[in-house]
Amino acid sequence: MSLDKDTVRTIANLARLEVRDDELDHLAGELSNIMTFVEQLAEVNTDGVQPMTSVADLALPQRADIVTDGNCRDKILANAPEQQDGFFLVPKVVE
Amino acid sequence: MAYVIQGETGDWELVIGLEVHAQVTSNSKLFSGAATNFGAEPNTQVSLVDAAMPGMLPVINEKCVEQAVRTGLGLKAQINLTSVFARKNYFYADLPQGYQISQFEFPIVGEGEVILDMPDGSTRTVGIERLHLEQDAGKSLHDQHPSKSFIDLNRAGVCLMEIVSKPDMRSPEEAAAYVTKLRSILRYLGSCDGNMAEGSMRADANVSVRKAGEPYRTRAEIKNVNSIRFLQQAIEYEARRQIDVYEEGGTVVQETRLWDSVKGETRSMRSKEMAHDYRYFPDPDLLPLKLTQGYVDGIKATLPELPDEKKDRFIKDYGLSTYDAGVLVAEQANADFFEAVAKGRDPKLACNWVMGDFAAAQNKQGRSIDNPVVSAASLGGLVDLIADNTISGRIAKEVFELMVETGKAPAAIVEEKGLKQVTDTGAIEAAIDAVLAANPDKVADYKGGKDKLFGFFVGQVMKNTGGKANPALVNDILKAKLA
Amino acid sequence: MTKLINLTMADARKALAAKDFTAVELVDAHIAQAEKARPLNAFVTETFDLAREQAKASDARIAKGDAGAMEGLPIGMKDLFCTEGVRTTASSKILSNFVPPYESTVSANLKRAGAVTIGKTALDEFAMGSSNMTSAFGNVENPWKRKSDPSVKLVPGGSSGGSASAIASHSVMAATGTDTGGSIRQPASFCGIVGIKPTYGRCSRWGVVAFASSLDQAGPMTRSVRDAAIMLGAMAGHDPKDSTSAPMPVPNFEAALTGDIRGLKVGIPKEYRPDGLSAEIQALWDNGIAMLKDAGATPVEISLPHTKYALATYYIIAPAECSSNLARYDGLRYGVRVEGKTLDEMYAKSRAAGFGKEVRRRILVGTYVLSAGYYDAYYAKAQKVRRLIADDFAKAFQTVDVILTPTAPSAAFGMGETDDNPVTMWLNDVFTIPTSMAGLPGLSLPGGLSADGLPLGLQLIGRPFDEETVLRVADVMEKAVGFNALPAFVEA
């Protein structure tokens, strides 16, 4: 599968990764190369095969409904690049 | 009679589907042990998991699973014994993980239904498409600073049930009735408190219009509606807007629009115009949720009597009207209060008092049913005094006011104020004789044809007896004497 | 007496108990070696002062008779494990200033067992790589050198290259690694040490910076199989904070080293012998088979028919999961932020500045394969092929007890010897990836030296939660191999 520059731009946008215009061609080539490699899976017959999301053969463990966490704002904000009055700060979002 | 909007080119029908997000009542969050209380100081109810710190992992809250199943059963819906959590990937400041843990292909609850109680007494059935569990996002404040937004993650990770209806509603009233009924059911079940003002229940409306007989046209989604009143207004506005677009030769775009309650209009969310590709895939940190039929049956056995069943029972067992029964069962606590008053008594009389003077007094004082102006036992006592003719209905109103004022029991008030009804025919006769004797010209006028004066005489007799004369007896005896 | 830095953990433990030396002396000796080994760049963050404090505390516990399983033993901690109060970077710029206010379950388990951490070891950025050349803090060097040309700097393998290098240089006795597609086993092979990726779910993932959630596993890297057994016992255990953590009791792995593998059936998968497999690796493998035969085991040819698709499957699933796992690195709540005029600009600039090329590549691939219209063809398809790969192993284990393969297709390569094609680098993991796809335990131990004097590893794969058999066979093989070569660095 060949990816073009526009596709790379769209994917990069979805992934919130800034990509310079002069990188697009090279990236498109790389990604096309990779996709060609993984496309070999199309030759495998998987009719009737259940997808495997997890190798863990377990029941989903459930926890009791008690408050055991939170109330640790210092820890939560400890690495914040910008904070004020207990809030995280970000560039203003216009809705 | 179907609801139509008259346009320039003819009549238009409305097609409405609702997505309701209901915050699940639980002590802690869906996948973390942080608290869920409303109104806490910013970022004080946030665990490392909620803040999406590196290496953090989700563990599901058993209560949230239970509440979803309970709600599904309350909606007469199919419970899916196997369901899968999926990641919905997108970037936003209030979404720390960069994805929301939700359910996509395999939700915990499938198809069900809600019966709407329309104002005219009719009912309509609206289908439920599905119900799934998902995380709520945090909150962004955009008005605290000129160039920065403030992010509070207290709400991030709180458990939501997303309840998706089928596009079965055809008018703003039906939409309102749906949300009203759904809210009532959730409150009965105890799975959500339905507090729209606080945001624990939010409704998004999918609205489209069409001419009769057409297939569905493009729909727009309206968000940011936090009351049932606004929901109706928003749907009305949006329907008209779409009709105008079509009638001017345009096309309606599939988009998300925000309801602006100040301007009374819906606005396109330009910033979210970019196509969202959520790239759903099963969350590899969580295994499929597998329930047993025994588990589901166990929850079913603990369901309370729900509004529809209770309403039917009130009509059948108490002989109440559809309307009255509907009003009483809307809130479970109100229904319970009524039943406490009605127990062992004339249910219609009890109903009149609960829905009449009691409700009025509650409203006047801004009381809720858990803090009533008089207790159910007390009100029941008043009903007893009417039923055994100790007091008349009119006097009872006086007694009720005094009960509210003083908090005293009805029997005590009647005794204290000497309000016992006068049923002694001799005394009533004497009072009537006195009134007729004092108003000979009016008697003559009445006998001459002025029937309205009957009411004057009744009034005078009541005044004469301090209001305590039994009205029925006064009527009969006065009639006889004036014949 | 053996130099302190040349002891195994097992021997050091005995010596500490016998009071031949103190934990402080042991740790000091390793700190000195780590300082000497600085040119190899194995550490992102040195924690020497902390280590000395921990060693003192260990001595006190040993004196009281309260010694834990790893008491006083100096280890390296892969910088993917969040360590409270100690910077944790995942070898990435984006976390270069991140100090976790919490401790991962595995590192806490090791602390509780008395281990002393010399420092946070470097890795390929976010655990994505097979050479440790993508760390934001510079390449890590393999202490081993080619006989033919010792001037060439060799890679230690990856992603746990820092851990492998530090162990091979004797700066630490052991280290934690993580393995998603081979990141413990392949560097172990390149550096002549032992590394085991346990069964998925054996060790907790809580507090380990996530790369690919359905594949990541923490595991020990050591200089002997016995040491690996000791360390795995200290690391493993059910964690209720990790929903994929197996509620299995932790066996006494050391007790599994009985030395007796008579009657065991060893599977030899024919698909691991592709055309182009180097003669050297073939010979290594044949030698390994012979050794196990001598010890009384029976080699059995098996077929794992979907082996050749494992790489493609991995490079759809792992990038897909990582594209989602790395979405949280957005400069908002922690890590490096590059300012932007809008929120989206801040995200895009922070992530572009913070992530290296390989990470960016995998995020883009992952985003693409999950995107609308492609999910069924790629991700869903890969999940199905994954099941076929797992089924291959399950079927094989009906007739054999353990599987023997080479660990890597070559010895350590030179830093300047790679080409621009990312897929070429990925081929390094062709023998280790299938084990990860099936969630099985896999161990690498040194099987011999290449003609050029570089270590070559052999891999043993076991049934789910049967690390005991894997360790038992490895222990026997280790004795048979008698690998006692040391890298030039250590001899010097």
For C365-402, write each residue's pLDDT tens digit: 999 999 988 999 999 999 999 999 999 999 999 999 99
Mean pLDDT across C339-346: 93
Residues 6+ apart with CB under 8 A from B162: B19, B20, B21, B102, B131, B132, B133, B134
C-alpha span between A53 and A46 (Å, rounded): 15
Residue type, C95: L
Q: Is C346 exposed, middle or buried (0-12, 13-18, 19+ CB in 10 A)?
A: buried
Q: Which residues of A touch B42 (CB under 8 A)?
A: 73, 85-87
Please, what are the domains in chain C?
4-263+399-491 (3.90.1300.10)
Q: Which of C363, C124, C100 is nearest to B91 (CA)?
A: C363
Q: Please give the pLDDT value at position A12.
A: 96
| C180 within 8 A of C318, measured Cβ to Cβ | yes
Banded model confidence at residue C1, pLDDT cuts 50, 70, 90: low
Position B272 pLDDT exceeds 60: no
**CA dist., res. C38 & res. C40, Å (int):** 5
Q: Which chains touch A (3 or more CB pairs under 8 A)?
A: B, C
Which residues make beta-bridge pairs with C77?
C120
Q: How confident is the model at residue B273 (pLDDT cuts 50, 70, 90)?
A: very low
pLDDT at C252: 98
* Complex ipTM over 0.85: yes
Question: In chain B, what are the domains?
Answer: 5-299 (no CATH), 307-417 (no CATH), 425-482 (1.10.10.410)
Strands (E), B139-263: 139-141, 148-152, 159-165, 201-211, 220-225, 256-260
- Per-residue pLDDT of A28-81, as tens digits, reads 999 999 999 999 999 999 999 999 988 887 899 999 999 999 999 999 999 999
CB contact under 8 A, C97 and A49: no
CA distance to partner chain C, nearest, from residue A4 (Å): 12
Using a CB–CB cut-off of 8 Å, the residues of B that contact C are 48, 51-60, 87, 89, 91-93, 96-99, 149, 151, 277, 279-281, 284-287
**Chain A residues with a Cβ under 8 Å from any Cβ in chain B:** 14, 16, 53-54, 56, 58-73, 75-77, 82, 84-95
Catalytic residue among C58, C78, C93, C165: C78
- The H-assigned helical ranges of C371-466 are 381-396, 422-426, 433-438
CA-closest candidate to residue A66, choices B63, C194, B79: B63
Active site residue C350: no
Average pLDDT of every residue of chain B: 93
Does C91 qualify as catalytic in the annotation? no
Q: Which of B287, B289, B291 to mutate to test the interface with A (most CBs of A within 10 A)?
A: B287
Report yes or no: B423 and B475 within 8 Å, Cβ to Cβ: no
Is A49 close to C387, i.e. CB distance below 8 A?
yes
Interface test with B, best of A16, A53, A84, A85 (most B CBs within 10 A): A53
Residue C216 binned pLDDT confidence (cut-offs 50, 70, 90): very high
Question: Are C74 and C110 a contacting pair, CB within 8 Å?
Answer: no
Contact between A73 and B44 (Cβ < 8 Å): yes
Indicate if C159 belongs to the active site.
Answer: yes
Structure tokens at B216: 């569905």
Cβ pair A56:C355 closer than 8 A: no
B350, B360 contact by CB (below 8 A): no
Render pLDDT for B360-388 as a digit per residue (tens, 0 to 9): 999 999 999 999 999 999 999 999 999 98
Mean pLDDT for the stretch of residues C126-153: 97
Report domain extents, chain A. 5-43
Please state the pTM of the whole predicted model.
0.93
